[in-house]
Structure 1
Amino acid sequence: MWKDYCASYIKNNRASSLSIMVAAFISTFFLSFLCTLFYNSWISEIDMITLEEGDWQGRIVGDIDEADINTIQDFPNVKRVLVNEDLSQGKKIVVDIYFNNMRTIYQDLPQIINKLGLEADAASYHSLLLSRYLIHDPSDKEPPLLLSFYLGVLFIVSFSLVLIIRNSFAVSMGARIHQFGIFSSIGATPKQILACLLQEAAILCVVPILLGYLLGIFACVGALEGANYIAKDIAGRYEGTFCYHPLISVITILASVLTVFFSAWLPARKISKLTPLEAILGTNKSMLKRKRNPRILSRMFGMEGELAANALKAQKKALRTSSLSLTLSFLGFTLMMCVLTLMDISTKHTYFERYQDAWDVMVTVKDTKIEEFDYTDKLRGLEGVRDIIVYQKAKSIISVSEDWISDDLVKLGGLEKVAGKSVTKSDGSWLIEAPIVIMDDEAFKEYCKEIGIQPKLEGTIILNEIWDSINSVFRYRKYIPFVKENRATINLKNTEKNQEADKIPVLGFTQQVPVLREEYSDYSLVQFISQSLWEKISGQVEGAEADTYIRILSREGVTLEELNDLEDNIAQLIGTAYEIESDNRIQNKITNDKIFKAYKLVFGSLCFLLAVIGIANVFSYTLGFIYQRKREFAQYMSVGLTPFGMRKIFIIEALVIAGRPLLITLLLTGIFEVFAIKASYLNPMEVLTKLPILPILLFSLVIIGFVALAYYIGGKRLLQCNLNEALQNDTLI
């Protein structure tokens, strides 16, 4: 009997059945697409990090022998240990460690270090890779939260998608309480009614769920191919490849099936709590337990405002799902747009605006020492070269005694107060990083002239500044003198052997750096020396990086074509003798803009999906919400309410239904913006002037428009019904 009834109901109620099928398809499709896209983006991010920095998780550097390696391997959580031959030099062995459970790495690695008898700084963590697995340093007060944010948005969107199915079933099942009440009165049990509803749900939703699941996967494949096509001209790009995990299918299908099950089960549970007479008479309809005078709407809109407010209060529980869905969709949209804006501002601050005048072409000469590079003069003679610096970088440390620290630093509480754990103390003095920038002789002389020092090659120029971390933030750093400018010589130490080199004359102290695309540590004493001096002390200091760099400035207002030609000329001149990599400023900016546009396209598409999800939820529920109120409006008309008054009620309800989620979302977005601005230390006015107000405003208008459209269609259908007949039928039952 129930099979015949199900088949008959589906056949005779095609609109309602089609609504449920479309909802199941849309929800499963977007759920499958978003989960698959997020998984592929996550895997691509890990692959890029692994490709650029390696897949190691923990690393130990020190005097390590075979017995130590066996000790590490015997540690319970260690999966495997590899000696990094590329980074190991002499007795300084670099060991890469992989763990069975990465989540305990910040507890396990210090224990390994203690067991080996090494200092704490011998251990390092692949923090970027670990953060992609949501593993953060417990001592980090500001861990990266971007991935957590994306997961939060994904959860919000997924929950909103599930609500689409729930809303469609709520509209259909809510209209059938009366019908199932009749069945209950003639002996149907709640279990039989539940079996009937589950049969209908299975017939209507199995095919749409499977179809939506498969099409969501194909849509993700298409999106990845589209992203690869957009980025095909970007040099050095990572080409994303499609990958899939069985857990995605479990999440997608299980979420959809469970939603369908509970959407069918809840009406049966509701009926089981009603007596047959209550179900038939419809006395379960939502009513206000305590009638209150809605002052705001009644004062603004009169009697119609009061009726609309009471109707919304009476249907508060029923509307809660739809409002929540709309709020979540709008919240996801606005947060995505705000994150894009913050990313754009941050990128400009940290790179393009900071270094836009520091370089036009950068060339990296692979595995070449600066003293072995013989083309400096020839490069200076190339057409289009205005200025050139050939340089190499090296590491060293310097001992800074308490009496050498500047008075400004002492006033702030001393070096430990300003730098914290970034500096270490040994034998009463501070061991400070002293990175060395080795410049070709001609460029070093020019640098001396720029800062007002007599050009000499036998000496160092010290960058005498330290970040005042107490009175400024990293985004807008203020600097004070690090040391007193009263030293004629210094002793640089070898970072590997901790041995002092010969005394080096100090040519001068400065707060002006040479024009290079370099970023220096906040708590270091950077040394700028000539190539000639380096050739004399390199055997004592060591620590030089493998590559040499060439910074080239061209004429003012140079074009992309000119920089491309200059790159080609450089490649023809030195490309046959050395292995080089080069890029130019304009092409770098174009590439970054393309990448950011691709980000905007991806996030914009996601935001569009969020809009569709929210609108679908509102549209489906609002139509059902209006159409089920025939008896209510029949009663209004019986006491003299005109069609104009009914339309006014609809307009008020539409404004409340659309406006409330918008106001809640804007409040939450405002809180997020305050938190994000504070966390990123950006100037609030700078962020406020670039907020995506227009997209958010357009999205708000679209939501209001579609809610109004849903009310227009529902109201038109309602007015076309014979409301007197509806009232009479309900009275006769």
Structure 2
Amino acid sequence: MRNNNQEIAALLARESYNSNKSRNRILTATVALTVMMLFGVFSLAVGKLETDILLYMRNSGTAASTTLERGSKEQQEEIEALPYIRAVGSSVYIGNTEDYSCEVLDETGWEKMTAPAYSDIHGEYPQKTDEIMLPVRAMEAIGIHEPELGMEIPAGINLPGGEKLEKTFILSGYYTDYLNPAIFRPAGYFSQEFLQRLSIDTAENTTLLIQQKDNIDDEAIEDMLYRDVEMRDDSQQFFGGISIYRQVVYDLAGGFDTAVLMAGLILFGAAMLLYNVMYISLSRDIRQYGLLKTMGTTKRQLRSIVLRQTGRILAGGCVLGGAAGILITVTVIPRLLSGMYLQGRGETSAMIAFRPWILVLAVVFGGLVTLLSSLWAMNRVVKMSPVEAVKYTGQKEPHPEKAGIRKCKKTGVDRNPKKSAVEKSWGYSGGIPAMAWRNLFRFKRRFILTLLSLGLGILISLGAVVLSAGTDQTNKINQSRPDFMIQCQMNTGIVENYPADEVFFPTELREKFISLKGVVENDTAWGGYGKVDLGEEALQVYTGDMENRNGDDAVVVQVVSDQWLKDLEKLKEEKDLYIDPESVRQGNGLILLHYHTLSRIEEEKGKEDVGKEFRVTDLTGEHSTSMKFAGYLDYWEKGLDRMATTWNGGGILYFLTSEKGFQKLGLREQVFRVELEAEEEQEPLLKAEIADMVFRFNKERGVMAETEEMALNSEALTYHAKSDELAAARDYITSSRIVMGALCTLLLMMGIANYFNVTMTSLAMRRRELAVLESLGLTRRQLRKMLLLEGIFTALLVTLGVVTIGSFLLWAEGILIKQRLAYFVFQYPALLLVLCLGLLFILCGALPLSMYRKTEKQPVVERLKVME
């Protein structure tokens, strides 16, 4: 006879599947929910990362994180060969026109460093001598509002050597850039062929654009590059920055390690959701598989039956979960975020894009966990004898003494003859609460997994809330900006054109500002302007390359507090800085503050000048004072307390001194900047008062101008309100909160879904048990009470774990991230915790009762027959 075992196995699998439709619907929904949640969670997280990367690149105009000024071809090749470098490109400055700067990029510099920061790129990068590529705003500046590829563009380029080149170019491409027009000029790009025809020193005008690997921060990359790359001269230096990807990961999750940990916990929670439901629902099938084994079914055939059923569940679950995930990604998210996230810097295409690879990974992960969980039942059967498998119940038989059944050793008679039939049959004593408590621990493994899943789901959600609230853009702005800032626009470049005794920001006005009602804190940057001889020996490391270094130059002298100097002294000891804060505190020294202007070699040389004397004069040149040089200090030195300053930057001599030192110098006192912190309810009124005071002051001095031009008037005062910056970032902050809120909701739903599915599956398997209890005398009211108490006990145990261990972990998370992100603000999510636990108690109490009400409508006899 022909062997038809395969057909029989298929028939058994099909009939087994059809006879458990209710259970299979639960399993299919569980797989679908897991796939949808994993796809949704990781799509949102990856989308936010990619969109923030795009935002950072468009704000800075480049994808490079580190640069080397005046880099040579040999240095570029040397850096490219380093194992911790991802890519190196070059940008050569060849001059500027009235409307844009002129640059030449190599292939890497354009494709990997620059093009990703632009959008709407039409055409190609210039290849021929007479080709040019311009941004839209540069063409609008020269009167072209409808650009066309191939059109002629006349240009007058002022070359670095002073020569001017007049030439007509052909437009090979144009693009949209997003740089701040108040700070950055638009960039026009030319071909390598055009560069070769110019008689300029290429190396002196080349900047190398560097991308390091994401595991290296800004300070470390400088140390490594200085160690591995030989500098052309003492003044050449690297400007290290944190990689954009590393920065956005820190903004989102506080670091790569915490991001990996959270991803691992999410996957673990999803795995427990699938495993727990499959573990419970398939436990009963062990008896069926054992019966098949007694009839001669082989291991291979059992495996085939299990896989066929699981395959149908997986197919339905993955299709439903994938469809739901795609639907959310292409409909819900775009409606929430479209036009908001990038703050006018393009569309949110990165955020709302459909990513098939995430869906594939979610399906593969869900499928693997489901298959492994299903095969567990079959493997248990393989290890059991047929008799053991047929009698399998999922729990060990309790010892009679532990079960509460005590009999006389001599007679064998029950010592507690007054116990009810239920207590005698099931070994329960202590009433309904004790029965409920013992029911929870009858299947310890299952119950512990349920507790762990619920607690983990709540804890991950709370951790995500702590992270998102602490790294919110609002905290970043609050940490870096005062409520109000009023500053003078005067700078060292033109201060000598004004009378030496003129005061640009009167101290009387400053007193009025800090005396306004609602001001709770204030900080003032003050000092004065003077002159130094650029030929002073003590300053040659800084001034040696300046033009007219044999003449006098205006300088800024700012006063710092004694406390700030004490903190600087501690930093000096920690980092072995070449500075002398003590001489400054005593009124004899001046520290030269620079904005990362000096190279490592120059800073090393500068220590030899510490202690040397030089003279500072007032703007009239009449009063001269000898001071000691107290060293160079980089404003961006890690660990340095930031302070309010006036206009500064490369090429400006900016000195720090104590109040005692300033009095010794005898300079005219000037207020540079006033920062105010205000009561929240008083901010709107204060804003109006400050704006009015600034307006009236500028009007009295005759320096009124249009708002956008006010910053160009050096005699004017300007003010900035933090509320304006927050309003400008409102869309980004709102959309970011929506994303993080959606993530938290999905994570919480994963834990709740676990309990929901586990409870439904468990109660479906306990229908016969509940019917037996009812037939032995337990009333339906008592059964409902028992189920309610089981849910309440479960919620209490989860609450205990979350409030104790969970709170400790949340505090630890806050401490860890605060060490990495200075603007991070820890807020214990008390309200959300109460809401989560309240929802937990409601679900744990209502769900079992709801399930029991559906079954108690049937007579006990029918329920017992059905489950036999």
- After TM superposition, the score normalised by the length of structure 1 is 0.68
From 316, 323, 334, the counterpart of 1:225: 334
Q: Aligned ranges for residues 588-607 of structure 1 at < 5 Å?
A: 588-607=725-744
Counterpart-to-counterpart distance in 2, 1:607 and 1:528: 41
Deviates more, 1:198-207 or 1:171-180: 171-180
Query: 5 Å matches for 1:248-259?
Result: 248-259=358-369
Give the superposition deviation at 1:76: 5.9
Give how far 1:597 is off. Answer: 3.5
Between Structure 1 and Structure 2, how many residues are aligned? 622
Q: Call closer, same or farther: CA 1:574–1:727 in 2, change over 3 Å.
A: closer
Alignment pair present for 1:126 and 2:241: yes
Does the C-alpha gap of structure 1 residues 266 and 127 become closer, same or farther in structure 2, counting only changes over 3 Å?
A: same
1:129 partner letter: I
Match status 1:339 vs 2:467: yes
Deviation at 1:320, TM superposition (A): 3.0
The equivalent residue for 1:557 is: 686
2:31 corresponds to which residue? 24
Matching residue of 2:314: 205
Measure how far apart 1:28 and its partner are. 0.9
* Alignment partner of 1:570 out of 684, 706, 711: 706
CA distance in 2, matches of 1:311, 1:158: 29
Task: Report the AA paired with residue 620 of structure 1.
Answer: N
Alignment of 1:407-426 (within 5 A): none
Query: How far, CA to CA, are the matches of 2:797 and 2:452 in structure 1?
Result: 10
- Change in Cα spacing, 1:293 to 1:124, as seen in structure 2 (3 Å) is farther
2:559 equivalent to 1:462: yes
1:332 Cα offset (Å) = 1.4
Question: Pick from 372, 376, 381: which aligns with 1:266?
Answer: 376
Equivalent residue, structure 1, for 2:288:
179
User: Percent identical across equivalent pairs?
Assistant: 14
Partner Cα separation in structure 2 for residue 391 and residue 233 of structure 1? 38
2:63 maps to 1:55: yes
**Residue aligning to 1:194:** 303
- What is the CA distance between 1:342 and its match in structure 2? 3.1
CA contact (8 A) 2:593 2:654 kept: no
RMSD over aligned Cα, in angstroms? 5.7
* 122 and 214 in structure 1: CA distance in 2 versus 1, 3 angstrom threshold: farther
For the residue of structure 1 that corresponds to 2:559, the secondary structure is strand
Instruction: Select 1:710's aligned residue among 847, 850, 857.
Output: 847
Task: Give 1 or 2 for the bigger CA radius of gyration.
Answer: 2
Query: What are the Cα deviations for residues 507-561 of structure 1, in whole angstroms up to 9, with x where unaligned?
Result: 99xxxxxxxxx99987589897899xx9xxx988499xxxxx9999999534599
Partners of 1:463 and 1:527 within 8 A in 2: no
Matched, 1:626 2:763: yes
Distance 1:56 1:397 in 2: 37
Shift of 1:225: 1.9
- CA change 1:338–1:370 in 2 (3 A) is farther
Closer/same/farther in 2, CA of residues 113 and 93 from structure 1, 3 Å limit: farther
- Corresponding letter in the other structure for 2:559: I
Contact 2:249–2:255 (CA under 8 A) maintained in structure 1: no
Q: 1:493 to 1:345 in 2, by over 3 A?
A: closer
Q: Which of 775, 780, 785 pairs up with 1:643?
A: 780
- Change beyond 3 A, Cα 1:392–1:117: farther
1:69/1:212 Cα in 2 relative to 1: closer, same or farther (>3 Å)?
same
Q: How does 1:163-178 map to 2 (within 5 A)?
A: 163-178=272-287
Distance in 1 (alpha carbons) for counterparts of 2:369 and 2:44: 22
How is 1:21-100 mapped onto 2 (pairs within 5 angstroms)?
21-53=28-60, 54-60=62-68, 65-75=72-82, 78=85, 80-85=87-92, 94-98=207-211
Is contact 2:287–2:390 with CA below 8 Å preserved after alignment? yes
Residue 35 to residue 345, structure 1, CA distance change in 2 (3 Å): closer
State the 1:245 CA deviation: 5.4
Q: For residues 210 and 555 of structure 2, what CA distance do their matches in structure 1 show? A: 43
1:698 aligns with 2:798: no
| CA distance in 2: counterparts of 1:144 and 1:21, whole angstroms | 32
Q: 2:330, 2:354 within 8 Å by CA — same for their partners in 1? A: no
Work out the CA distance in 2 between the residues paired with 1:177 and 1:397. Answer: 91
Which of 207, 220, 226 matches 1:113?
226
2-structure distance, mates of 1:185, 1:244: 51
Q: Would the aligned equivalents of 1:622 and 1:710 in 2 still touch at CA under 8 Å? A: yes
The answer as to whether partners of 1:163 and 1:321 remain within 8 angstroms in 2 is: yes
Letter in 1 for 2:766: R
- CA 1:540 to 1:608, structure 2 compared with 1: closer, same or farther past 3 Å? closer
Task: Report whether the alignment pairs 1:351 with 2:464.
Answer: no
Aligned pair 1:277/2:277, yes or no? no
Q: Residue 212 of structure 1: SS of its match in structure 2?
A: helix
Question: Where do 5+ consecutive residues of structure 2 fail to align?
Answer: 1-7, 94-100, 104-159, 161-202, 405-422, 424-428, 514-523, 544-553, 572-579, 626-634, 656-671, 677-682, 699-703
- In structure 1, C-alpha distance between the alignment counterparts of 2:85 and 2:472, rounded to whole Å: 40
Task: Tell me what 1:305 maps to.
Answer: 433
Deviates more, 1:15-24 or 1:520-529: 520-529
Structure 1 residues 151 and 92: alpha-carbon distance in aligned structure 2, compared to 1, 3 A threshold: same
Deviation at 1:654, TM superposition (A): 0.8
Post-superposition Cα deviations, 1:210-267, rounded to whole Å, max 9, x if no partner, equal 3422431342343542343472795668745244656424421210111221122111
Contact 1:460/1:505 (<8 A) preserved:
no
- Structure whose residues are more often helix by fraction: 1
Distance in 2 between the 1:31 and 1:526 partners? 45
1:14 is aligned to 2:150: no
Gaps of 5+ in 1: 137-142, 399-426, 434-456, 474-479, 509-517, 544-548
Give the Å deviation of 1:338. Answer: 2.4
CA 1:237–1:372: 2 relative to 1, 3 Å = farther
* Deviation readout 1:413-438 (Å, 9 max, x if unpaired): xxxxxxxxxxxxxx9x9x999xxxxx
Evaluate the alpha carbon distance shift between residue 392 and residue 2 of structure 1 in structure 2; reply closer, same or farther with a 3 A threshold. Answer: farther
Corresponding residue of 2:454: 326
The residue type equivalent to 1:260 in the other structure is T
Q: State the 1:330 CA deviation.
A: 0.7
Task: Check 1:234–1:290 CA distance in 2 against 1; reply closer, same or farther (3 A cut).
Answer: farther
Is residue 134–residue 148 contact of structure 1 (8 Å, CA) maintained in 2? no
Residue type matched to 2:57 in 1?
T
In the superposition, the TM-score normalised over structure 2's length comes to 0.58
Q: Secondary structure at the match of 1:358?
A: strand
